[in-house]
Structure 1
Amino acid sequence: MTFASLSALVFALGAALQAVNAVTLPQKRATCAGGQVTANAACCVLFPILEDLQQNLFDGGECGEEVHESLRLTFHDAIGFSPTKGGGGADGSVLTFSDPEVNFPANLGIDEIVEAQKPFLARHNISAGDLVQFAGALGVSNCPGAPRIPFFLGRPPAKAASPIGLVPEPFDTVTDILDRMGDAGFAAVEVVWLLSSHTIAAADHVDESIPGTPFDSTPSIFDSQFFIETQLRGTSFPGSGGNHGEVESPLAGEIRLQSDHLLARDSRTSCEWQSMVDNMPKIQNRFAATMLKMSLLGQNQADLIDCSDVIPTPPALVGKAHLPAGKVQSDVEQACATTPFPAIAADPGPVTAVPPVPPS
């Protein structure tokens, strides 16, 4: 690694940590009409929305399908930002201008969560950009092991739809993905940190015949299993599978995106990917940092109100990092050239298929 690239890596890490550490929860001092206490009276508007979302979108506080999709929507809305191609970033254009945005090829499947969130937008005093990011941060708080995602209030209405072609797709090359994310201001390590989201994710449309197929064996727990299981040996499906950005997972009932498979093995990202294995403090810290950065794309943080203390504290992590039952260390496809894969024990079993994420 050259001195210049090392300096860039250190700068990216420092910037991300400064971003998340800058969001300190101030002392609560405003009492809302419902009795809740928060740091800023302007944040009181969020508590009725929180209760409505938890009961009527997230099934009473579950880390399920609607949480997964709401988290996905935060990215698909925010990444519609480019200094050269335009786009308003995290402005809610995916709700306000859902036609045409839900019809972009990269946005396949987001129409369902877009339509599910629109009634909440209609009945509450909140902008579309704030609703998308608030629902994502709130939903993640339902998942054991997750960090508390910072949230800022006050995004103005979206002015136009995002340009087409700004959302990376699972069959894009690593270079294309890193270039697109770099254009939006993310370093390669930050792409890895942001992909921690796939620990609580599933695919409905990568293969239409198997909806709700998770990306790891614990899709309702925010843990490091995604980073472990993507490094198990897997091969591309023959024929149409690869055309949909799909790679065969060695675990029955689990799906792996081609982009995740390649990022876990590319020299630009493989060591950072491996560093997330069994390192929950790092996963939580880096994910919160990149989520904050993403949620502010196209926005001026100084114009927004810190309402992070409205987001509930997530439940503690359940379980510990492990190889799936029936797997051994030699099943890991070592990709990082400088550091061996961490020694972790295998789940004692039995070997079972990963169940699909049930629809809401």
Structure 2
Amino acid sequence: MAFARLSVIVSLALGAAQLANAALTKRVTCADGNVTANKACCALFPVVAKMQSDLFDGAECGEEAHSALRLSFHDAIGFSIHGGKGGGADGSILLFNATETAFHANGGIDDITAGQFPVFQESGLTPGDFVHLAAAVGTANCPGAPRLQFLFGRPAPKAPAPDLTVPEPTDSVTAILARFADAGFNAQEVVALLSSHTIAAADVVDVTIPGTPFDSTVGTFDTQVFLEVLLKGNSFPGNGSQPGEVLSPLKGEMRLQSDFALSQDSRTACFWQQMVNDQTRMQTQFKAAMAKLQVLGQNTRNMVDCSDVVPVPASFAGPIKFPATFSQKDVQQACPQLRFPAISTVAGPAPTLAPVPGS
């Protein structure tokens, strides 16, 4: 009898597990043939296709993809866990673009808002859903990126975010960490979010050199930026000539003052160094930090997980390498308690980086 009862219990447990797994893997086939976990997400597949064709030049990891990711950050960070600083990830930067693009910290955002607005108007989405879906889709076009989460169902924004909520490259580490803490992020999450700089370029930090990349592999979502910010060496004319910009040892590369300061500060230096040549760590931490950022100010209980509409990024071929002529001896290490990873060097002469096309 005991064995019989045990057999029944085991059978019931297995049945419950099978039902749970079936619920987790339930799929819906949309009218256009796409498959998703929730019927509400079917409406997003045509929008994703439109974004790829009309915004991202056929799914390229280009200037528009970089700018879409930047736009999502500048939209969402206008928020405080203490209240009184905007609606967070609500798309206010798109709907009230005339107001928010005039803020000093949002310099250069006007191009991507102008590019996104007509596509947004055709999409049927709220501004917040459009901005944050575009960020996830654009990022997915970059090899090595994580597949970002996307929750669907943001209500329309009520008002523009206030000024002075976006950290600037001239800010001190203390000011940057305080602003992020006010939005609910710790120091490790700040460093994780800066992974976005691996596919970024600057247009307005120094207007004389638009499209200047932050690392030598700007079309790949890798940890190269964390390595190159740590390099010391000779500088070149035009590097470090404007507020917020510091000397870079790579010709044609920009190094933000805030990135360098964070890489050297005792509160963040070890988090920074841990990212170097650890693609999995960077992907995991960036994805988690972005999942938090992109729902700031939102009631996630009223939202639907439509992450499966986001394209799957190509994998990272890796590993990263020191740019030609650089090696371990050129690293300005600020976290000596951690062993610096062994990294080889690209063969050849010192590189000169080209501006990012379309900037």
Normalised by the length of structure 1, the TM-score is 0.90
2:53 paired residue among 52, 55, 65: 55
Q: Is the 8 A contact 2:320 2:343 kept in 1?
A: yes
Residues 137 and 150, structure 1, Cα contact 8 Å, conserved in 2: yes
TM-score (norm 2): 0.90
- Any conservation in 2 of the 1:63–1:140 contact (CA below 8 Å)? yes
Q: Distance in 2 between matches of 1:55 and 1:251?
A: 34
Shift of 1:334: 1.1
1:307 matches 2:324 = no
Residues 28/215 of structure 1: CA separation in 2 closer, same or farther (3 Å cut)? farther
Contact 1:253 1:354 in 2 (8 A): yes
Check the 8 A contact 1:235/1:247 in 2, yes or no.
no
Structure 1: segments with no counterpart, 5+ residues: 1-24
In 1, Cα distance between the equivalents of 2:31 and 2:239? 56
Q: Which residue of 1 aligns with 2:251?
A: 252
Distance in 2, matches of 1:26 and 1:211, equals 47
C-alpha change, 1:128 and 1:236, in structure 2 (3 Å) is farther
Q: Which whole-Å CA distance do the structure 2 matches of 1:303 and 1:237 have between them?
A: 52
Superposition deviation, residue 195 in structure 1: 0.4
CA contact (8 A) 2:206 2:242 kept: no
Q: Which residue number in structure 2 is paired with residue 295 of structure 1? A: 294
Change (3 A) 1:235 1:79: farther
SS at match of 1:264: helix
Q: List aligned pairs for 1:71-82, cutoff 5 A.
A: 71-82=69-80
Q: Specify the structure having the higher radius of gyration (Cα).
A: 2
Post-superposition offset of 1:168: 0.2
Corresponding residue number in structure 2 for 1:230: 229
In 2, Cα distance between the equivalents of 1:38 and 1:146?
21
1:221–1:318 Cα contact (<8 Å) kept: no
Match of 1:177 in 2: 176
User: Residue 279 and residue 46 in structure 1: after superposition, are their counterparts in 2 closer, same or farther (change >3 A)?
Assistant: same
Local SS of the residue matching 1:33:
coil
Give, in angstroms, the shift of residue 152 of structure 1. Answer: 0.3
- CA 1:352–1:240 in 2, change beyond 3 Å: closer, same or farther? closer
Identity percentage over the alignment?
Answer: 56
1:318 matched to which residue of 2?
A: 317
Match of 2:265 in 1: 266
5+ residue gaps, structure 2, are: 1-22
Choose 227-236 or 47-56, whichever is displaced more: 227-236
Q: What is the one-letter code of the residue matched to 1:161? A: P
Write the distance in 2 (CA, Å) between the matches of 1:150 and 1:234.
39
Query: What count of residue pairs does the alignment treat as equivalent?
Result: 336
Query: Which residue is 2:39 aligned to?
Result: 41
Separation in structure 2 between the aligned mates of residue 349 and residue 40 of structure 1, nearest angstrom = 51
CA contact (8 A) 1:236 1:242 kept: no
Deviation, 1:26, is: 4.5
* Secondary structure at 2:116 match in 1: helix
